Amino acid sequence: MKTKIKIKDKVYELTDVCRWEVRDGVLWNLNTNHDEGVDGDIIKYGDKTGTVEGYTCYQFVATKEHGKEILSANDYHVSFIHKTPVSYYTND
């Protein structure tokens, strides 16, 4: 079963190529043991700063300012300012 999260009033079904967790309102990638960004969070990578659209998945990033990008796994240096709380979504 795929993990579903709720961000604001929108539900996202996360890719199943990673294992996911929500920790204190932040999306967490268990494969990388690193936090991820979600819609409305601020991401900083390389010389760019942007506003996340949807959610990030390791080096797969989409921002309002720069569109979709695949960052180099070798030079992966990303930081987030988490502005948007995440929760699990269950339709039970």
Q: What is the pLDDT of residues 11-21, one digit of tens each?
A: 999 999 999 99
Please give the single-letter amino acid code of residue 5. Answer: I
State how far the Cα of 32 lies from the Cα of 14, in Å rounded to an integer: 15
* pLDDT score recorded for residue 25: 97
Alpha-carbon Rg of the chain, whole angstroms? 13
Residues in the chain: 92
Confidence class of residue 90 from pLDDT cuts 50, 70 and 90? confident
User: In the prediction, which pLDDT does 92 show?
Assistant: 56
Does this model's pTM top 0.85? My answer is yes
pLDDT of residue 2: 86
Structural domains of the chain, count: 1
Q: How far apart (Å, rounded) are the C-alpha atoms in residues 51 and 41? A: 6
Per-residue pLDDT tens digits for 38-76: 999 999 998 999 999 999 999 999 999 999 999 988 877
CA-CA distance, 12 to 75, in Å (whole number)? 28
Domain that holds residue 24: 4-88
3-class state of residue 67 by DSSP: strand
